[in-house]
């Protein structure tokens, strides 16, 4: 069949809001766009384990240690689902990981900020996983089947992540004055980097036009950012905390909050590798990958033994 006919079939599927599966024909640029986004999403999950992993040995109680352990393990699993989804597009996991470990591939800028106090673990769960959920619930309806299905499982686990963070913020905000100050300090430092998670403003997003056309994204960066602010402000008020933005106020006309944009120059600087923790995160990731070599070799040997046994 002619390429033209394949294109017509793809466009017809898009027009009917149908799901594209690995065996379906797809434009090269659609495939490349998905490999870029899904692999960076996977990188974000495994790098996201590092800031929180830093607090497992210092959690204030056995219960909070158990909860944080479970969350960090979940993030590793999310990375696994997403690398597997990326591989259905014909890419190779080692290649993707090499791009991460050599600093070529991006991961979410948010993970390049330090976790200075236990309140940061609360703010990450509450705000960062809250923002991730906002984005990932939308991605459950993305046009590429394996990505959409990976999101269903991930979103269920993210909800637990967001609740455990919010529980920590409640504990601190209704605790002693020092604890409340810790919660406010964490909100001050994590608010704007969290808004950056949704990507640059729509007008400056080189990928969004195709992402919307191909139904990879169902809402734009700015729409999701706005929804996140509207939804989070109720919780900020309940906690009795203050967002570090003097322009933030409810706009009765648009029935949504007006708020200040993040510092996009800072964003560009962080995603170019010059954030507070970029070097530390990449070094830790390379170290973990090197230390994990024996596990990968053992798993490959076991898989080969099984395969040979089946073939014999
Ligand atoms: N951090 C790092 N890079 C970012 C970014 C961010 N917060 N936001 C945008 N970028 C990059 C994009 O990757 C793109 O660069 P590239 O072309 O070299 O890949 C460039 O900035 C322009 O951004 P666009 O908006 O045009 O790019 P996208 O259309 O890809 O949108 C996105 C960016 C919104 C992050 C989108 O890729 C997306 O929705 N990805 C899936 C969700 C995701 O990756 N979330 C990351 C957090 S996962 C997480 O927090 C889980 C937690 O539980 C640990």
**Residue-level pLDDT at 50:** 96
Count of CB atoms situated within 10 Å of the CB of 206: 7
1-38: pLDDT as tens digits: 666 789 999 999 999 999 999 999 999 999 999 999 99
Ligand 1 atom at shortest distance from the alpha carbon of 40: 44
Residue with the smallest CA separation from ligand 1 atom 8 is 199
Across the range 221-250, mean pLDDT stands at: 98
Residue 47 Cα to ligand 1 midpoint, Å, equals 14
**Residue-level pLDDT at 209:** 97
Which of 51-55, 92-96, 152-156, 307-311 is the least confident region? 307-311
Q: What are phi and psi of 75, to 5 degrees?
A: -60, -40
Residue 198 Cα to ligand 1 midpoint, Å, equals 7
Average pLDDT, the chain: 96
183: pLDDT strictly greater than 90: yes
Q: Measure the CA–CA gap between 89 and 87, rounded to whole angstroms.
A: 5
In the chain, pLDDT over 90 holds for what percent of residues?
96
Q: Which residues contact 213 (CB under 8 A, 6 or more apart)?
A: 14
Residue 108 Cα to ligand 1 midpoint, Å, equals 6
Locate tokens 């919780």: which residue? Answer: 235
**Residue-level pLDDT at 200:** 98
267: pLDDT strictly greater than 90: yes
Q: Which residues contact 20 (CB under 8 A, 6 or more apart)?
A: 10, 13, 26, 30, 143, 144, 145
What are the angstrom distances between the C-alpha of 190 and each of 137, 194, 197, 218? 22, 6, 11, 26
Count of CB atoms situated within 10 Å of the CB of 193: 25
**Residue-level pLDDT at 2:** 64
Helix (H) or strand (E) holding 275: none
Q: Which residues contact 120 (CB under 8 A, 6 or more apart)?
A: 51, 55, 114, 186, 189, 190
Residue with the smallest CA separation from ligand 1 atom 42 is 41
Count of CB atoms situated within 10 Å of the CB of 152: 13
Residue 200 Cα to ligand 1 midpoint, Å, equals 9
Q: Measure the CA–CA gap between 21 and 23, rounded to whole angstroms.
A: 6
Across the range 151-169, mean pLDDT stands at: 95
91-147: pLDDT as tens digits: 999 999 999 999 999 999 999 999 999 999 999 999 999 999 999 999 999 999 999
Q: Measure the CA–CA gap between 50 and 311, rounded to whole angstroms.
A: 41
Residue with the smallest CA separation from ligand 1 atom 13 is 106
CA 150 to chain centre: 13
202-213: pLDDT as tens digits: 999 999 999 999
156: pLDDT strictly greater than 80: yes
56-97: pLDDT as tens digits: 999 999 999 999 999 999 999 999 999 999 999 999 999 999
Question: What pLDDT band is residue 312 in, cutting at 50, 70 and 90?
Answer: confident
**Residue-level pLDDT at 310:** 86
Q: What residues flank ligand 1, with Cβ below 6 Å? A: 36-37, 40-41, 44-45, 48, 75, 106, 108-109, 128-129, 132, 135, 158, 161, 196-200, 205-208, 211, 221, 271
């Amino acid at each position: 069949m002619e390429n033209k006919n394949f294109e017509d079939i793809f466009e017809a599927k898009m027009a009917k809001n149908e799901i594209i599966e690995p065996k379906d024909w797809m434009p090269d640029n659609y495939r490349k766009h998905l490999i870029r986004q899904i692999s960076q999403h996977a990188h974000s999950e495994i790098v996201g384990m590092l800031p929180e992993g830093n607090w497992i040995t210092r959690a204030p109680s056995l219960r909070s240690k158990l909860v944080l352990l479970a969350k960090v393990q979940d993030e590793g699993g999310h990375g696994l689902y997403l690398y597997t989804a990326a591989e259905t597009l014909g890419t190779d996991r080692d290649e993707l990981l090499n791009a991460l470990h050599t600093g070529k591939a991006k991961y979410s800028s948010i993970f390049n900020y330090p976790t200075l106090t236990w309140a940061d673990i609360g703010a990450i769960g509450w705000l960062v996983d809250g923002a991730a959920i906002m984005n990932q619930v939308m991605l459950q309806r993305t046009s590429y089947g394996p990505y959409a299905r990976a999101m269903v499982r991930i979103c269920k686990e993210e909800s637990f992540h967001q609740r455990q963070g919010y529980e920590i913020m409640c504990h601190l905000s209704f605790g002693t004055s020092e604890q409340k100050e810790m919660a406010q300090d964490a909100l001050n430092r994590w608010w704007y980097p969290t808004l950056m998670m949704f990507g640059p403003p729509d007008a400056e997003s080189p990928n969004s036009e195709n992402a919307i056309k191909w139904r990879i994204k169902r809402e734009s960066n700015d729409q999701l950012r706005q929804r996140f602010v509207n939804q989070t402000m109720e919780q900020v008020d309940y906690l009795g905390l203050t967002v570090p933005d003097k322009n933030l106020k409810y706009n009765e006309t648009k029935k949504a909050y007006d708020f200040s944009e993040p510092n996009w120059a800072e964003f560009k600087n962080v995603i170019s590798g010059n954030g507070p923790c970029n070097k530390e995160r990449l070094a830790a990731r390379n170290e973990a990958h090197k230390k994990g070599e024996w596990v990968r070799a053992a798993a490959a040997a076991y898989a080969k033994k099984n395969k040979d046994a089946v073939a014999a």
